[in-house]
Structure 1
Amino acid sequence: MNPDKKLAFGLMRLPQTDPSDPTSIDDAQVCAMVDRFLGAGFTYFDTAAPYHGGASEEAFRRCVVERHPRDAYTVTDKLSLWMVERPEDLRPFFDAQLERLGVDYVDYYLLHAMDAARLERAEELGAFDVLAQLKADGLVRHVGFSFHDTADVLERILERHPEMEYVQLQLNYADWEDAEVQSRACHEVCERHSKPVLVMEPVKGGQLANLPPDLEERLRAMGPERSVASWAIRFAASQPQVAMVLSGMSDEAQAADNLATMRDFQPLTAEEQVELLDIAEEIRSRASIPCTACRYCVDGCPQKIRIPDYFKLVNRVAMFGEGSLPKARRDYAAQAQSAGKASDCVHCLQCEEHCPQHLPITELLEQVAEVLE
């Protein structure tokens, strides 16, 4: 891993020929992006079996492996535990990934999206032992895990499995002090355990590339020549434990902007970091619903409405502006497929009786329906 080339090409949000079909990857555009990326001296690619409806790994083979020598790139793939059922499924799962990738070995292999429940599941399946054996067999060069949980859970994993070499974290300036994501606290755990950090979601799914106009103006004042997204990339890359910053590049313009930011990387100054964290605090202050996501309201809901999840989506729109509304509506529609919609509320008021914040939940659900349905 080149310490001077911290930008990674994430293959999770590739350009598509059909926006409604995630498997319709635009190979021509991806190949152009790959060539530009490698030509600038960057080498790190990140994929996983579930990405693009299962098509991401094969796109990597077509656009990278079949067109460039093996020593020109490194590839990270992941063991997605929800896609296996028994211990004996783990090795065939990996072998199928190797075949789709078209390589003889994987440079970095991560347990995918670990949290408290998946830690227990991974140990039950013997996944940590499988990773160790793959490394011993030379099929994997380095092992680690990607992570979505609180800092205390991360501490638990690293205490129980110090053999893990890398941790992939959601890290960006908006989530640095976020009570749920805990980017800073998780980064500090990695520092204590001397584990290099691979950053995912540095631009928070694109939200930090499209800020409300007044906040964008504050960034422009610091550096008129820099894109809004570049500040988020630089924030992530400037943190001391960070070894690599993944960007899920969706088109050639994004790739060009990322390369312009990271080709001659300049860490944030202390003053710039303070300003970004102040902007993050301003973003958080704009949340319209003070929900703590305790989920007491969910138990007993006769309509099985995912109340805190829907409030979170409305808060996202309030914090990041109208530009975030289309994605919030898509996420809402996806969540409502397996749960009640906000407009399904029957005003039984059980949720309000259980809410520690004493929120007027039934009224707020009407607001959710107005915004997201």
Structure 2
Amino acid sequence: MTYLGEDIRKLGFGLMRLPKRDGEIDIEQTKAMVDVFMAEGMTYFDTAYGYDNGKSEEAAKIALVDRYPRDSFQLATKLPAWAGAKSAEEARQMFWTSLERTGAGYFDFFLLHNLGDDRTKCFDDYDIWTFLETQKSKGLIKHLGFSFHDKAAVLDNLLTKHPEMEFVQLQINYADWESYAIESRKCYEVARKHGKPIIIMEPVKGGLLASLPKGIDNYFLEYAPTASVASWAVRFAASLESIITVLSGMSSIEQMQDNLSYMKSFKPLVHDERQIIEKVQKELDKIDSIPCTDCQYCMKDCPEGIPIPKIFDAVNLYYIYDDLSTAKRKYGFATYNSSLASQCIACGQCETACPQHIQIIEALKQSAVLLET
């Protein structure tokens, strides 16, 4: 039995981290990357209304849409109704703006962007679901789905309410496979239960799995000395069933050539390779970090409404991967429209409720020092 996107090659070009020159997208290098990608038979391109303040969509037009027959590639973009839209009209205008920026005529895959937490409410309040279904009926969208950042139970509820969604885009990588905060495996299994094919984002966890800490990458290098560390992460994701494609945000020809070296003739992981990834997962778990299981008991009576588990997830990126810039970006996302760690009033309610007996007050102080300065 076939599924939507089965015939699409399993490496997608994510246009979120395009090469820059003097602070602007390097269009000529982007064109070169598009040419290399297309020459190898790869055809899926992913952008979004908000990527690089809309310049990613504009780059897609110049480097791809204006230079290749429209039926030779698939273009996906996303509508973030929660990002500044103050009315249904403003949210809907995002669709028309994306259509104009890209010049695509229609979108092969269109996504409600970043559902989960309180962000989903905007799509409900503005009835973006019905609006996009209408555009699909007009032929402006071929396939409609959504990207998602939340727990598996929330995903299950969304797919139950919206069976018309044809696919989902999920954060899946081997480091987050059993993560309490991300629930990659559980979300994947929910999508499979509902019969929805999956587009995978963040297979290399924002680049963190391309350079592992404390020599853990030796497990990979000893088995396959010539294979990049990042290749293990991409192949892990692509080896799952019912995958439309695996997105990689590539910023250089070198990154693209590495990805193409193993994805143009993609071979799923074999048993020995899976065992090596399991060893790496266990080594990552051993690194000291805040032992938060994201049960969220700490938040139930927090007078400041601080998103404690999400803050600790951001801090742990620094503790485990020693990547402060990524941790700060994650922290900014975690506290978007929420209280900061520094706003803790040390009431102690969270520590009383925490089953892991984490010294939350002190951990929040350290989080503020690390991520707010």
Task: Name the CA distance, whole Å, in 1 between partners of 2:158 and 2:54.
Answer: 28
Q: Does 1:269 align with 2:285?
A: no
Q: 5 Å matches for 1:347-366? A: 351-365=350-364
**Shift, 1:39, TM fit:** 1.0
Give the 3 Å change call, closer, same or farther, for CA 142–332 of structure 1 in structure 2.
Answer: closer
1:134-145, aligned counterparts within 5 Å? 134-145=135-146
**Residue 113 (structure 2) pairs with residue 115 (structure 1):** no
Residues 247-299 of structure 1: CA deviation (Å, up to 9, x unaligned): 11122211111111211101001231232133223212324211234262696
How much is the aligned-residue C-alpha RMSD, in angstroms? 2.7
1:12 pairs with 2:11? no
1:190-236 CA-to-partner distances (Å, cap 9, x unmatched) read 22222110000010111111101421000112211110000000000
- Matches for 1:20-99 after TM superposition, within 5 Å: 21=23, 24-83=24-83, 84-99=85-100
Report what 1:311 is aligned to: 312
1:328 is aligned to 2:327: yes
Q: Which amino acid aligns with 2:49?
A: A
SS state at 1:358 partner: coil
SS at match of 2:363: helix
Superposition map of 1:272-287 within 5 A? 272-287=273-288
Give the TM-score taking structure 2 as reference length: 0.88
Shift of 1:317: 2.3
Matched, 1:228 2:229: yes
Instruction: Tell me the alpha carbon deviations over residues 177-202 of structure 1, each in whole angstroms, 9 at most, x when there is no partner.
Output: 11221111111122222211000001
Counterpart-to-counterpart distance in 2, 1:198 and 1:161: 18
| 1:63-212 correspondence to structure 2 within 5 Å | 63-83=63-83, 84-115=85-116, 117-212=118-213
User: Is contact 2:301–2:349 with CA below 8 Å preserved after alignment?
Assistant: no
Structure 2: unaligned runs, 5 residues or longer:
none
1:296 and 2:295 correspond = no
Q: Which amino acid aligns with 2:106?
A: Y
Shift, 1:131, TM fit: 1.8
DSSP-derived class of the 1:81 partner: coil
Task: Return the TM-score normalized by structure 1.
Answer: 0.88
- The Cα of 1:241 is off from its aligned counterpart by 1.7
- Pair 2,33 (structure 1): closer, same or farther in 2 beyond 3 Å: farther
SS in 2 for 1:314: helix
Tell me, what secondary structure is at the counterpart of 2:269? coil
CA distance in 2, matches of 1:336, 1:193: 31
- Check whether the contact 2:200–2:237 (CA below 8 A) recurs between aligned residues: yes
Change beyond 3 A, Cα 1:367–1:38: same
Q: Equivalents in 2 of 1:15, 1:207: separation in Å?
A: 18
Between 227-236 and 78-87, the greater mean CA deviation after superposition = 78-87
Distance 2:270 2:128 in 1: 41
SS in 2 for 1:108: strand
SS in structure 2 at match of 1:244: strand
CA contact (8 A) 2:65 2:104 kept: yes
Cα distance in 1 between the residues matched to 2:239 and 2:162: 27
Encode CA deviations 1:46-67: one digit per residue, 9 max, x unaligned. Answer: 0111111221111111111122
Contact 2:9 2:42 in 1 (8 A): yes
